[in-house]
Amino acid sequence: MIIKTRNLTKKVPSEEGELIILNDINLELEKEKSLAVVGPSGSGKSTLLGLLAGLDSPSSGEIFLNDQPLHELSEDQRAKVRKENVAFVFQSFELLPGLTAIENVMLPSELNLDKDAEARASEYLTRVGLGNRLKHYPRQLSGGEQQRVAIARAFACNAKVLFADEPTGNLDNKTGAKISELLFEVNEESSNALVVVTHDANLASKCDNQIELSEGLIA
């Protein structure tokens, strides 16, 4: 199992008492498999993804990522787990505006102290079809191109799991379809697992497993 949760619950304090965002989630995902998370807006999909990736900590319950008990780890320990295991693609790309495409892709390698960061970044960008846009800044790229840079960056993470939160949500259908294709290619080539939140039925159907969230519960 690359991901395993038991009774995973997330609550936040709110003005009308505690708000339960995720309630008692149990799920498992095997290595190199893909999982689609679907559900209406506000059902807790992003929250779940954040917890699985170790970006956030649960209120109760257990999460194991590559056998590491995330729920027991401090923020710094989780950062280390993320460095070794996690790649992330966001709906709004989240590239650093001050860095060029290649510099954005180099980031994970730099954090891992890899020597050949530049060569690899250039390779990944070529792989996603942006070999001729290495020195461009995010603002000089279209949405689809920015998301491709983000996918190249995810490639560079050399991760065990790739998380993607509505990766096609900000893109038109045609570009979106290309991006989903790329995601599965990455998934295949780097033999990692993929967890993707999506509203795109087509994308969801390509995944090995699917779960549907509704008001914090697996439907």
Partner 1 sequence: MLLGLSLKLFWRELKSGQLSIMFFALVLAVATVSSISLFTDRLEKALLAETQEFLGGDLKFESNDLIEDEPYEEIQKLNLKSTEMVLFASMLASGDNLQLASVKAVDQNYPLVGGVELRSESKNIYVKRPPDLGQVWLDLRLMDILKLEVGQTVSIGDADFIVSHSILSEPDRASNSFAFAPKAIINAQDLEKTNVVQPGSRVRFSTVYLGEKAELLLAKNILEKTKQPGDDIREAQDANDSLGKAIERSGNFFLLGGLLAVLMAAFTVGMSSQRFARRHIEYVAILKSLGTESWEIRLLYSLIFIELGVFAIFFGLILGWFMQEGFTGILKQYFPTDLPTPGFQPLLISSLTVFICLIGFVYPNLVKLVKISPLSILRREESKTSSSSYLMFALALSAMFLLVFLYTERLLLSSIVFFTILFIFVLGYGIILSFFRSTTRLGLGANNPLSLAWSELHRRKYTNSLQVLAFTMAIGLSLIAFSARTDLMSTWESTLPPDSPNNFLINISKSDLNSISSFLEENEIEESTFYPITNTVIIKLPKEGEEVSKPIDRNFNATWSSELPLGNTIVSGEWFKGNSSDGLSISNDIAARYGLDIGDPVKVFFADQEIDTYIQNTREVNWDNFSPNFFVIGPPEIFKNSQATYITSLHVPKEKDKVISEFMSEFKTVSVLSIDAIIDQVNDIIEQVSKALEVILGLTIFSAMFLTLATIQDGFNLRLHQSAILRTFGASTSLLQKSTALEFALLGLLAGFLGALLAQTGIFFLETEIFDLEAAFHANIWVMGPIIGTILICALSVILILSITRKNPKEIIYNS
168 binds ligand ADP (CB under 6 A): no
42 binds ligand ADP (CB under 6 A): yes
We find the least distance from the C-beta atom of residue 86 to partner 1, in angstroms, to be 7
Question: Within 10 A of 186 (CB to CB), how many other CB atoms are there?
Answer: 24
Q: Which of 15, 16, 17, 41 binds ligand ADP (CB under 6 A)?
A: 41
110 binds partner 1 (CB under 8 A): yes
Binding mask of the shown chain, residues 9 to 38, with x at each position contacting ligand ADP by CB under 6 A: ---x-x----x-x-----------------
- For 96, the token pair is 């650093």
Q: Which of 46, 85, 100, 180 binds Mg ion (CB under 5 A)?
A: 46
d(CA 98, CA 89): 19
55 binds partner 1 (CB under 8 A): yes
Residue 79 binds which of Mg ion, ligand ADP, partner 1, none (CB < 5-8 A, kind-dependent): partner 1
Residue 88 binds which of ligand ADP, Mg ion, partner 1, none (CB < 5-8 A, kind-dependent): partner 1
Which residues contact partner 1 (rule: CB under 8 A)? 46-47, 50, 53, 55-57, 75-76, 79-84, 86-88, 90, 92, 94, 96-99, 102-103, 106-108, 110-113, 117-118, 138-139, 153, 157
